Amino acid sequence: MNRIFTSIMVLGIPVLLGSCQKKDSETQANDTETQEQETKPIPISEPLITHIYTADPSAHVFDGRIYIYPSHDIESNVPQDDEGGHFDMKDYHVLSMDSIGGPVTDHGVALDIKDIPWAGRQLWAPDAAYANGTYYLYFPAKDKADVFRIGVATSTSPSGPFKAEPEPIAGSYSMDPAVFKDDDGKYYMYFGGIWGGQLQRWSTGTYAANGSKTDLQKDDAPAIRARMARMSKNMLAFDESVKEIKIVDQDGNELPGKDHDRRFFEASWMHKYNSKYYFSYSTGDTHFICYAIGDNPYGPFTYQGVILNPVVGWTNHHSIVEVKGKWYLFYHDSVLSGGQTHLRTVKVTELTYNPDGSIHTIDAYQKHAPDLPDE
């Protein structure tokens, strides 16, 4: 009997130890998973599509349907550099949906770089407009000399395909075009971006090939200004010389270069609310989407605050559109790709105005982990 008991004990100890070790491993794994849930950002919105990467969404309502004109991120295996060489997009897709939260249609390739006669590389953030019975796609690309210009392509359909004009818009430069239609039917383009967007190289009105990469060293000078111009009636050209946009503080002082949390960097957008002009933009290296308000399309615009806090990924780029009486913010982040800065996905969330016309600041992520399931 003692021999049997001893045998059972000898055979049972490894099983018991194995069971304890298994529980310890499971506990450790659960602790690790809980820690990851606590540290991993929990988005407030899911990507509109996941079969391709998209970024820089410009949203519009055309004929009652929502159309989104994003960049199409790809893995092109271009080495990363501080001027964005790894953002080597080669075509555009158009997305659409009947309602926010509804099914999203990818209409496929709307314009390919090989069909743009003047373009060399890098199809960055686009925008679109409708006028004269025609849909216009505005896009930046580096020309054969590696200088960013802004081109235009046309279509009879908001989803394309689009046919590019043989030359870029005369007098255009830099990137991130955004086209705004005012209540009087006039259209204006807002554009520009420093660093990789080359805006700092146009300070004299002529491109400086060996100019500074940024203006970040000019802390006490006014920050480089975004650009804008009224569009011609045919929407294929500027109808005036390019203007600079002032962004000032509440005391009327222009924001200086060192004010990295408020100064313009890139990603212009214009919308109108309660007869006021809302110019919004990205602060670039500090990753905020901010806004300033003015009384006319040319400004000056007085800084008001932050619309969107920084997102996962280096860039922050947006658009704002009214849909059926509600306002929405379209934006992107890099959560789906695990934080790879050049592989982003487009998202949307509701935007809320306060009674005084200010915009409620949005955080793209919940500040707590989800409740764990009951054991």
User: What residues are annotated to the active site?
Assistant: 56, 266
> Phi-psi bin for 42: left (phi > 0), alpha (psi -120 to 50), beta?
beta
Task: Report the DSSP pairing between strands 247-248 and 301-308.
Answer: parallel
CA 16-20-25 angle, to 5 degrees, is: 145
Angle at 350 between CA 341 and CA 230, to 5 degrees: 75
Backbone angles phi and psi of 23, in degrees to 5: -65, -40
Q: What angle do CA 114, 117, 119 make, to 5 degrees?
A: 75
Which residues make beta-bridge pairs with 348? 330
Do strands 227-230 and 187-191 pair parallel, antiparallel, or not at all (unpaired)? antiparallel
Measure the N-to-C terminal CA separation of the chain; round to a whole number of Å: 41
Pairing of strands 319-323, 301-308: unpaired
In terms of Cα–Cα distance, which of 57, 61, 82 is closest to 71?
57
Nearest in space to 348 (alpha carbons), one of 100, 61, 56? 100
